[in-house]
Each structure stands twice: as structure tokens, then as C-alpha cells.
Structure 1
Amino acid sequence: MVTVVGIGADGWGGLSARGRAALAEADVVLGGPRQLDLVDRHVLAELREWPSPLLPALPGLLDELVDQTVCVLASGDPMFFGIGATLARVVGQDRLRVAPAVSSVALACARLGWASEDVEVVSVVGRPLAALRRALAPGRRLLVLSAGADSPAAVAGLLAADGWGPSELTVCEQLGGQRERLRSGTAAEWACADCDALNVVAVTCRAAPGARSWGRTAGLPDDAYDHDGQLTKREVRAVTLGLLAPRPGELLWDVGAGAGSVGIEWSRAHPACRAVAVESDPARAARIGRNAAALGVPELSVVTGRAPAALESLPAPDAVFVGGGVTVDGVLSTCWTALRDGSRLVANAVTVEGEEALAAARRKLGGTLVRVAVSRAAPVGGFTGWRPAMPVTIWSVTR
């Protein structure tokens, strides 16, 4: 049995009776240096720091200690962006007990007078800072779980560089402890260089004049993306995402991804949505990564390779979009075979040959065909007329 005990900056004095009992019964206590220091004078167990890197070593470490009573120290609530969820996957839920403390999010909201349900939490602990961009919206309140003393300045720098310099920042240090401190300022003028390593950054988003703010619904402006013309255009993208119907926790294959727009907007739909962009052109693949970071979903996975061979080692998808390569032998059949019951496949074509491939797939597998034709207003001499874009044929089917 492994017991995870949440501990705050108030140390031993803030532990619950259950947490103290678990520590008293332990043969080995695992944790980070700061957490172990908080209990050093109060327990008789062997104190061991986590190995680095942690995740690869964790299964072997727990196997080594399988015959001992193990207690793990974690900051605040171990099941909220903490080690608790990782341990549940490694040792199994039936071998895990958790004694949580008050989370840093709860403490920060209490100090700031913020309603927890109105706050979005972004962790930059072991995660790219660029993920913060997805949460930016005028007036939105964010709590950023910091990776250390440098995180507040990094958060301020990203906000200022992206046109959110007027945003109000409050750094909450050592919450719940004797050295608790709150310091405030704006992102553009942030100058605090001596932040405590244990901190949470509270952000009230304010945009500077001219700053762009992206919505989370499908159909971002085309100029939100860096591209070389290989881009699923805004109106077609909105229809395509509507047919793909992203749901939390689902994985998308974006095959022939071009600029990555479909996979990126799938990922922006919900923090738990995941996407793999498959692109054969190395320059485009690199561009997809940059677009994903710029639009707040740096976790999007990019695979440089040609379908269908590049699809063989990917995890099974919940939905597949084929934006390029519908005429390549084996692409549609491989994508269809990879789907589970209830999964969706959407494929787009702009050529006659592509339409023929989609029509053949529909005859064999069912589904629906839709043709989308978009015209945009443009100058015609001194007047305004309609300039049509190439029509796009969309095949969608549920397995």
C-alpha cells in the first residue's frame, strides 16, 4: 500500500490526523527536498528524495519498496496536477490511499476573493509555457501553477510579448505558510526578480489596444496561421470540425495536416482533446509546431512522414481527418481500419480525382457527401463582386 499525503507550506502543523498517522506508520517517505524538510524532525522513517528523471524510475523504485510501508509527500492536493494521479496509474487504484491537503488553487482563490468555478487553471510544471495562450481572453481570471522562482517573470514576458501587457498579475508565495506573501503588478511592468520558488501566479487578462484574442470555436481567421497556402480555409474548417465533433479526452489524427489548423482547433476545443498531425513535408511539419505553440496548444504531436506508412505506430484515434492524400493508395482504408465503433472519419477533396475517391469510399462504407462552395467579396473596378474559392467536397462517416 502506498499512501500519498498532501502537505502545504505550513508543514507538519497543517497536516490532518490521517496524514500524520500515515507518516508515523511509514517505513519510507518519498518526496522532494522541500517537502522532506517539512517533516524531517517529526518522523522516524527513512527519507528518500525522488530520483531524477522521476517518471522512468518510478515503477522500479516502487517495485523495490513493495514489501515496505511507503508514504509519499505531495504539495497540497496530490490529485490536482500532482503525483497522485501518476501513482494511481503505476500502482493501481486499489493499492493507493490519498490524504489531501488544501490545494494552492483553493488558497489563492481564498486570498484573492475569486470564485473557484470562474477561474481557469494552467500548469507550467513540466509543461510548455505556451499553453497559457489558449486560456487568454479579455477579463478572464487564470491561476498559473508555477514551475519555480522564474515562472512569474516568464508568464509576464509571454503576456507582454503577445499584447496582453496590461494584464494584472499577483504572485502568491508560500501560501498557507509563515512566509506567505502576495505581490502585484502588470505584465508589462513586472519587475519582481526575487520570487519564492513556491508560488502561484494569478492573472486577470487585459488586452492592449490592437491585441488579438482567439475564440475556442472552430473557424479561426486564416491569418491566425503561418502557412504556404496549404491550409483548410476558415469556413470549410468550421464545417469540418463540426463533423469531427471533438469531445473531451478524444484523440484526432490530422492526416496531410498542411498548416495543422484542424488538429490545432480540435485541441483548442477542450484541454483534454489530443491530436497528432501527420505531414510528409518537413518544412510544413515544423510550421505546424510553431502554429500550435502560437495558438496555445504546444502539446500537439507532429509526425513527419507519409501516410499510410506513418500511421502504423500511432495510438488508435477517436476521429480522423484526411485533409491531403485521399487519392493515395491505402490512406482512407488504413484510417477506416484504425477506427473503433463510434469513431468518426472526415475527408476533404478539391480535385475531381479526390471526389472520385470519396464517392467510391461512400459507396463502400456509407456516410454523407457535402460540397461546400464559398465566395468572398472583393473589388471589381469601383464596385464589389464575389470571387469564388474552389469548392470542397467533404465525406463524413461514423464507424
Structure 2
Amino acid sequence: MTAPASSAVPPDVTVVGIGADGWDGLTRASRAALCEAEVLIGGARQLALLPDECAGERVAWPTPLRPAVPALLAAHAGRRIAVLASGDPMHFGVGRALAEVLGAGVLGAGVLGAEALGTEALGTGVPRALPRVLPHPSSVSYACARLGWPQEDIEVISVVGRPVARIAAALYEGRRLLVLSAGAGTPGEVATLLRERGFGPSRLRVLEQLGGERERSYGATADDWPHPPGDPLNIVAVECVRDPDGLRLGAVPGLPDTAYEHDGQLTKRHVRAATLAALAPAPGELLWDIGGGAGSVAVEWLRTYPACRAVTVERDPERAARIARNAERLGVPGLRVVTGTAPGALEGLPAPDAVFVGGGLTAPGLLDACWAALPEGGRLVANTVTLESEALLADRYRRHGGELVRLAVAHAVPVGGFTGWRQAMPVTQWSVRKGGPAPAAPSPPVAGDDA
């Protein structure tokens, strides 16, 4: 008779952080966990650091790592497993994947306790169990110690399995960055990106094999970077210095229009800032940007917080390609660009937390599809400059409530030898939260009001 999944023996997992100093740098508890383990899982480089007294079966991580975790743990259920991780396993390390798969949750066992976490199956017949984590100083800790940089004042960006273009979103005058490298070529790639983004004067320092016998460091400015690829185990420290002639980008929505490549289809700066304020992005939320144009709203949604996500839908292939270029240049290469016409192109997309409609409002069924896709509490913002679309928004405002505003911007321009105002086309904006307050009843007319 086959035992139910809930009676299966959960994996006994200890995650051990290890540095470039190898076995000599480990604590007594970490050494004991590795010596007692029946299975040792890690990268080939990490496994090679262990002495023969660690007699457990050695298993190298497959590639890609993340999808293989549940099956690999299930295959060794009931055995003592030690997983090797670089430095601090919970800082851009494999500890996160193990905690999520094994069900540790964001508060950890110390707060919730094992009983509160339950025994939901992994999908392989194995119940959940909390991993034990034994951290080692991370490369970030070592780097800050060597550089004299307070950790709380720096930004850490990983390009391990991620595009180097992500760094561009963190480039601000005077900012200090630590880049977790993907390999020996990363320092040169970082220097190239800094030059291309107008931060060539920035100072770079590469720190290799931190904490090990072969530790060394070297540096130069991005403009004058002379170094060939070195050791693949490195971290890149960046002190950001903007070129005096470079375009200055702020940390809030409303980037200069000149920051974007566009053909005129662009939500302009002041309206864009008001639109992002109405959309109210929060960490981890997903935006649908429909009628992307130049992709500016989705790009600035993503720049508000690294964990934000966005999908932009654009029917014109040339504009879709332009959106992707804008996203990469401005440091958010994770923007997903869907080439197609809404509402048909919305099918199969993950449910949004917010929707922005910047074009195609009159497409049959578009607003209905967006409203249906939103969960309770989700936000929808739509902009238009045409009377036909404005009539649609006015109707939805009567039905669903929210806020209906008209945004008007005028720019000072030369008028002969003087200066006058040039009015841009006014934008009508409807913003609403699903499940928000009911539409207000119209006020009765007051004597003296215009008919």
C-alpha cells in the first residue's frame, strides 16, 4: 500500500555559506554540518573546496538551477543534505530558492514556527521542512570592509544571470554601487555601460577572491579602463560620477522627454508624472501598459522599485522594438514587450495590479477586458486627447466612479522679441480603483448656474 504524500519523510537540509577561504574560513558548526551530511550539493568550485573528511555523496547543481531544486531535494528525501552557497546564502544566493521551495516563508521559522507553516507538498510527494542556514560573510560585507563603505549607504546589483543593463537604473551622481559579477568579463562590461550612459568619469574598483589567499584589487575610471578580464570570482565597486554634459535623470517619474527614443507617440513629461502618481506603483506589482508608444509609462513604473514588473502591448512592430531599446537604455531590460492589438493581445497575460491605457481606447471591448482582468483593489488609468475617447471615459466615470480630470500644460516660447505661452493639447485622464467608493450622485442644479 502506498503511503500518502503527507507521511513522506521531509528533506533534512542545512545550507552552508562558504567563501574563497574555503574550509579554513568555516565555523565549527558549518564544518560539522558538512562532515555529517550524507549528500553534499553545490557548484563544482564549491565542492572542490571540501576535504576528504566530508564523505557524503557529492552532487553538482544542474543548469538551470532553480527548476531542478524540488526534484533534487525529493530524490534525497530522508537523508541529511548539506547545500553549499557562496557567502551569505540569503543574500542573492541559493538560500532564497531553497526557502521558497521548502516553505520557510518571508518571516522565517523563528517567527512562525514549523507548525504554523504546515506541510504543503512540493509537488513531488515530499512535505515541506524548514532549511537550517549557516551564513558566511558575503562578498558585499568583505567589499565594504576593504573599501571603508557603510553597507547601508550602497546599492547592490546582481548581474548573475541578469542583464548588465540593469545597472543603468541606479546611476546617480555620487551614488556608490556594488555589482555582483557574472564572470571575468563583467568589469569590462560595466565600464562600457558607464561610458555609454554618460558616466565615463566614474571610478571602478574590482575586488577578486575576497577573503581568500589570492585576494587582489585593481581599478581605473570607466573612460580609461585598461584591464583585461581577470578572476571570474569578483565584485565591482562603482563610485558614480556623471559626465558634465550627460543627461541628468531623476529618481522620480517624469524623466525628460529627451531620455526617450520616440516618433512623437510619447506620454509627455508632465502628464507622465501625473499618470504614474495615479497608478501608484508598489514593490512587486505588475502593470499592463496598453498602447505603449515609446514605453515611457512602463519604463518609469519599473524604475520606481526593482521588484516592480510590467508588460507593454504595442501593435506597431517598429514601436515595439523602440520600447525595448528605451527599456534597456534606462536600466529596466526586464520590461516585457508584446507586439499585438488589444484586447486580443491581452489573452494569457498574468493578472495585473494596475492598467494604463494610453492608446486604442475606442477598440471594441478594450476597457471591459481591462476592467475584468483587474482584481479588487486594482487601479486603472486611461488618458486621451480626443472627444470620442473622452466620451467613453465620462461614461465609465459615471458607472464606476474614480476621478476624472483634465491636465493642461503650457510652455513658454518666443513670440517675436517677447515670450508667450504655447498650450499643449489638454489630456483627459480617468483614474479609478476597482472596488473603490461608489460613484457620487450628481448634485442638483443651483439657481443661477449655467444650463
Question: Does the alignment reach a TM-score above 0.5?
Answer: yes
2:159 corresponds in structure 1 to 124
**Root mean square deviation, CA, Å:** 1.3
2:333 corresponds in structure 1 to 298
2:255 to 204, 217, 220: 220
Q: SS at the partner of 2:48?
A: helix
Q: SS at the partner of 2:199?
A: coil
1:192 corresponds in structure 2 to 227
1:13 equivalent in alignment to 2:24: yes
2:287 to 252, 258, 278: 252
Given that 2:176 and 2:238 are in contact with CA atoms closer than 8 Å, whether structure 1 keeps it comes out as: yes
| Normalised TM-score (structure 1) | 0.97
Residue 68 of structure 1: how far off its partner (Å): 2.5
**Alpha-carbon displacement from aligned partner over 1:305-327 (angstroms, at most 9, x marks no partner):** 21112222111211111111221
2:354 corresponds in structure 1 to 319
Q: SS at the partner of 1:208?
A: coil
1:62 to 52, 69, 73: 73
Residue 194 of structure 1: how far off its partner (Å): 4.2
Residue 246 of structure 1: how far off its partner (Å): 1.1
- The farther-off stretch of 106-115 and 20-29 is 20-29
1:211 equivalent in alignment to 2:246: yes
2:368 partner letter: S
2:58 to 47, 62, 66: 47
Counterparts of 2:100 and 2:317, CA distance in 1:
35
Given that 2:19 and 2:87 are in contact with CA atoms closer than 8 Å, whether structure 1 keeps it comes out as: yes
2:204 partner letter: L
Given that 1:7 and 1:35 are in contact with CA atoms closer than 8 Å, whether structure 2 keeps it comes out as: yes
Q: Could you list the runs of 4 or more consecutive aligned residues of structure 1 that deviate by over 3 angstroms after TM superposition?
A: none
- The farther-off stretch of 205-214 and 252-261 is 205-214
2:259 partner letter: A
Given that 1:136 and 1:213 are in contact with CA atoms closer than 8 Å, whether structure 2 keeps it comes out as: no
**Alpha-carbon displacement from aligned partner over 1:108-135 (angstroms, at most 9, x marks no partner):** 0011000101000111100000000011
Given that 2:357 and 2:383 are in contact with CA atoms closer than 8 Å, whether structure 1 keeps it comes out as: yes
1:388 corresponds in structure 2 to 423
2:272 partner letter: R
**Alpha-carbon displacement from aligned partner over 1:219-269 (angstroms, at most 9, x marks no partner):** 111111111111111110011011111111211111111111001001101
| Normalised TM-score (structure 2) | 0.86
2:345 corresponds in structure 1 to 310
Residue 189 of structure 1: how far off its partner (Å): 1.3
Residue 105 of structure 1: how far off its partner (Å): 0.6
1:270 partner letter: Y
Residue 49 of structure 1: how far off its partner (Å): 1.3
Q: SS at the partner of 2:16?
A: strand
1:282 to 311, 317, 321: 317
1:398 partner letter: R
2:205 corresponds in structure 1 to 170
Given that 1:216 and 1:265 are in contact with CA atoms closer than 8 Å, whether structure 2 keeps it comes out as: no
1:4 to 4, 15, 19: 15
Q: State percent identity of aligned pairs.
A: 62
1:352 to 372, 384, 387: 387
Counterparts of 1:274 and 1:42, CA distance in 2:
46
Larger radius of gyration: 2
Counterparts of 1:209 and 1:330, CA distance in 2:
49
2:179 corresponds in structure 1 to 144
Residue 384 of structure 1: how far off its partner (Å): 2.2
Number of residue pairs matched by the alignment: 399
Residue 368 of structure 1: how far off its partner (Å): 0.9
Alignment of 1:326-337 (within 5 A): 326-337=361-372
2:381 partner letter: V
- The farther-off stretch of 56-65 and 326-335 is 56-65
Counterparts of 1:255 and 1:68, CA distance in 2:
51
**Alpha-carbon displacement from aligned partner over 1:279-300 (angstroms, at most 9, x marks no partner):** 1111111111100000011111
Structure 1 residue ranges without an equivalent (≥5) = none
- The farther-off stretch of 104-113 and 45-54 is 45-54
Counterparts of 2:290 and 2:31, CA distance in 1:
52
Q: SS at the partner of 1:62?
A: helix
1:80 equivalent in alignment to 2:83: no
Residue 85 of structure 1: how far off its partner (Å): 0.8
Counterparts of 2:80 and 2:339, CA distance in 1:
46
Structure 2 residue ranges without an equivalent (≥5) = 1-11, 105-128, 435-451
Counterparts of 1:332 and 1:54, CA distance in 2:
40
Counterparts of 1:383 and 1:72, CA distance in 2:
73
Residue 21 of structure 1: how far off its partner (Å): 2.1
Residue 55 of structure 1: how far off its partner (Å): 2.7
Given that 2:187 and 2:229 are in contact with CA atoms closer than 8 Å, whether structure 1 keeps it comes out as: no
Residue 161 of structure 1: how far off its partner (Å): 2.4
